[in-house]
Amino acid sequence: MCGIVGINSKNEFYVRDAIKRLKRLEYRGYDSFGYAYGSSLYKKTGHIVVPSSDDKTKRIIAHSRWATHGGVTDANAHPHVYENVTLVHNGIIENYQELKDLYLRKGHKFLGETDSEVAAHYFAEKLKEKDMINACSDFIHDIKGEFAILVLVKGDQNIYALRRDSPLVLGVGTDMNFLGSDIYAFSDATNMAIFFENDEFAVVGNDSFQFYDKHGKKISKEVQTFRWEQEESMLQNYDHYMIKEIMEQPKVVKRLLFSLDTEQKEKFHEFTAEMKKAKKIIFVGAGTSYHASLLGVYYLHRCGKAAQTIIASEFEHFIDVDEDSLVIALSQSGETMDVIEALKYAKARGARIASIVNVPYSTVQRMSVISLNILAGQEVCVAATKSFTNQVALMLALAKEFGYKVNMESLPQQIQSVLERSGSVKDMAMGLKDNEHLYVLGRGLSYPVAREIALKIKEISYIHAEGMMGGELKHGTIALIEKGTPVIGLVSGKDNAMLSNLKEVGARGANVITISNEAAGDIRLETSNDGKFGILASIIGQLLAYHIANAKGLPIDKPRNLAKSVTVK
C-alpha cells in the first residue's frame, strides 16, 4: 500500500519539493508520513504536510504509510533508523518476529511495533561483517514476504533499492535519479524509467545506477521511455478531487474511444483475437474492477461469448485454468497484490495473461502477453470513478466486436447529460445522509451496478450499504427492511421482476428510490437498453455517494482505513 520516494542528485534541491512528490503518492496510504536527509529525520501521524522551510539536500528518502503491523503512531511511522542505517519499506516482512527475537537477544532496542523496523536492524547487523552489495543479496535470500525498500547508509552517497512483489521504479533524470512506488512520483520531471522485477536490487547514485540480481551479480536493464495520460493534479475550482474526477468522465471516455481507433487500434484487435481463440475466458479483479468485470461478462454473455469472472483473492480456490485459458486482469493500479497472485497461479498452469489497466508499465501489464490501457488519467481520490467508467466502456467496446449492439459514439454526451443532473442527485442525498443502512437492488445488467453503487456509498459516506441481486432479496435480506429503510432499485428496460422486488420492499415500508431508463421512477436515464445503463446509473451512484459524504463533512478524497493501491495480501 505505502508510497515511497527517493531522490539522489548532483545538485541540491529543496526538501519541500521532494515531499511534494511524496504528496503525489498519498493515495497509497495516509496514516503517517516521514522523511530523512543528511542528519535530519522527521515522521508524524496524519496526512502529509509539505514543510515550509528552505532546507536543501542532495539525497532524501520519504514514505507515506498505510498501517499493517503496528498502530498509527509517530514511532511506527517511517523512516526507521538503527545505528548507521535509515530506511523506508512498503510490504510485509512475514518472518519479522523471528528476526526481532534474534536482535533482542543481541541487545538491540526497538522503538516501535512494525515489521519494517526489523529491516533497519538487519542491514545494520550485516554491515558489521559485509559490504552493502552482499547485505542486499543476503536480505533477498533471508527475508520472507514482500518489500520495496530504500536504504541510506551513513557516509555512503548512494541510495540502495530492493524489490519483491511491491512496486518500485527508477526514474532516470539529468544529474538526478528518482525512486518511487510508481511513475507518478516523477512523471513531471522525466519520462525515462527502469522497472524493478522481483528479487532485484540497485545501487542508485546521483548520475549513475547499477542493478543486481538476487545473487549480487550485475545485470543490465533497459531504460524505457514512458507516456502517461494524466489530468491536471490541481483542484482548480472543485472542492474535492472526487467530484473533479467524476466531472472529467466525458473527456476521458472520449479519449479512450479515440485511442481504440488510433494508437491502440492494433492492440485492440490483437486483444479480441486472443479472446476469440481462447476456449475459456476468465476475468479477475478486486473491488471496483471486479464490478466492471461483472458487467463485461454480462455483455459478452448477451452476444453468445462464454466468459466468467472471479474475485482475485479467491481465484485459486474456485477456478481451474490451463493452456487453453485466457485470464484477463482488470486493475486500476496494475499493482493489486491479490490480482498479481491470481495471475501467478494462472501462469504457472499455462494460461495466457491479458490485462486492462490504467497505469502503464505496472506489474500486471508487464505480466501480460497483451494489454489495453483505459487512459482514465491519474485518480487522486481513493474511490475509483472515472477509471471504473473507462473500464466498463472498454468492456462494451470489446463486446461490440463479438456482436453486442451498442452506439459507443454517443456515450460521452450521455455521460455529460447525467452530470448536468448533479443538483437533483444532491437533493436526494440530503434525504439519505442520516440513514445508517441502505440497500441497492439490481438484476442482470443492473446487478453489478448495484454492487458498485453500494461500494461507493460505503467507502465515502460510511453508511452501511448492501448491493445485491433483486432475486435474493427474499432469501434473508428482506427481514432487515422496515419503515423508512432506503432501497435504491435499478430498473434497466422493462424488468418486471425488478419492479416486483421494489413493490415487495415498498409494502414493508421501505423508502424506494428508482433509477430507470424505461420504467417510471425518480431518476430517468436517457439510454436504450444497450448496456450503457450500466455506466450512467453508476455515475448517478458516484454523485449520490459524493453528495452524502459532503453533506456529512467527511474526508471524501481520503476515507478512513483505505488506500488506492492494495499492494499487500
Q: Are residues 204 and 298 in the same domain?
A: no
128 is catalytic: no
**Cα–chain center distance at 243:** 18
How many angstroms separate the CA atoms of 491 and 496, rounded?
A: 9
Are the C-beta atoms of residues 282 and 319 closer than 8 Å to each other? yes
Q: Are 217 and 78 in a shared domain? A: yes
9: phi then psi, degrees, rounded to nearest 5: -135, 150
Question: Looking at the structure, do residues 164 and 97 belong to the same domain, yes or no?
Answer: yes
**Number of structural domains the chain divides into:** 3
Contact 165, 214 (CB under 8 A): no
* CATH number for the domain harbouring residue 9: 3.60.20.10
In terms of domains, do 502 and 390 share one?
no
Sheet with 3-14: list strands edge to edge: 40-45, 32-37, 56-65, 3-14, 176-180, 169-172, 192-195, 224-225
Q: With a threshold of 0.95, does the pTM exceed it?
A: no
- Final residue before a domain boundary, out of 383, 414, 445: 414
Instruction: Supply 387's cell numbers.
Output: 477509471
- Residue 2 annotated among the catalytic residues of the structure: yes
Please state, in angstroms and rounded to a whole number, the distance separating the CA atoms of residues 439 and 210.
55
What is the rounded distance in angstroms from the CA atom of residue 418 to the CA atom of residue 445? 18
**Alpha-carbon distances of 165 from 91, 217, 336, 502, rounded to whole Å:** 8, 20, 10, 46
Whether residue 187 is found in the same domain as residue 252: no
Strands 200-204 and 159-164, by their bridges, are antiparallel
Note the pLDDT of residue 113: 93
The pLDDT value recorded for residue 527 is 87
CATH number at residue 313: 3.40.50.10490
Rounded Cα–Cα distance for residues 186 and 180 (Å): 8
CA atoms of 569 and 561, how far apart (whole Å): 15
How would you write 312-360 as a 3-class SS string? HHHHHHHCCCCCCEEEEEEECCCCCHHHHHHHHHHHHCCCEEEEEECCC
Instruction: Please tell me whether residues 492 and 545 are part of one structural domain.
Output: yes
Of the candidates 100, 458, 564, 569, the residue annotated as catalytic is 564
Same-domain check for residues 378 and 397 = yes
393 vs 249: CA distance, rounded Å: 11
* 3-state DSSP assignment of residue 500: helix
pLDDT score recorded for residue 437: 95
Domain boundaries, position 523: 421-569
Same-domain check for residues 183 and 101? yes
Strands lying side by side in the sheet with 218-219: 80-82, 85-90, 147-153, 159-164, 200-204, 209-212, 218-219
**Nearest-CA neighbor of 327 among 301, 307, 305?**
307
> Among the options 2, 23, 43, 244, which is catalytic?
2
pLDDT given at position 230: 59
One domain for residues 243 and 295: yes
pLDDT of 66 reads 81
Of 565, 379, 545, 381, whose CA–CA distance to 462 is shortest?
A: 545
Render each residue's pLDDT in the chain as its tens digit; 569 residues.
689 999 999 999 999 999 999 998 888 888 899 999 999 999 999 989 999 999 999 999 999 998 888 899 999 999 999 999 999 999 999 999 999 999 999 999 999 999 999 999 999 999 999 999 999 999 999 999 999 999 999 999 999 999 999 999 999 999 999 999 989 899 999 999 999 999 999 999 999 999 999 999 999 999 999 876 655 566 778 999 999 999 999 999 999 999 999 999 999 999 999 999 999 999 999 999 999 999 999 999 999 999 999 999 999 999 999 999 999 999 998 999 999 999 999 999 999 999 999 988 899 999 999 999 999 988 889 999 999 999 999 999 999 999 999 999 999 999 999 999 999 999 999 999 999 999 999 999 999 999 999 999 999 999 999 999 999 988 988 999 999 999 999 999 888 998 999 999 999 999 999 999 988 889 999 888 779 999 999 999 999 999 999 999 999 999 988 766 665 56
Q: Environment class of residue 415 by beta-carbon count within 10 Å: exposed (0-12), middle (13-18) or buried (19+)?
A: buried
Task: Among 387, 414, 441, identify where a domain stops.
Answer: 414
Where does a domain end: 158, 193, 225?
225
Asked if residue 191 and residue 264 are part of one domain, the reply reads no
Q: Which amino acid is at 452?
A: E
pLDDT at residue 392 in the model: 98
Does 46 share its domain with 194? Answer: yes
Residues paired with 440 in a beta bridge: 467, 488
For residues 359 and 434, state if they share a domain: no
CA–CA distance, 16 with 156 (Å, rounded to integer): 23
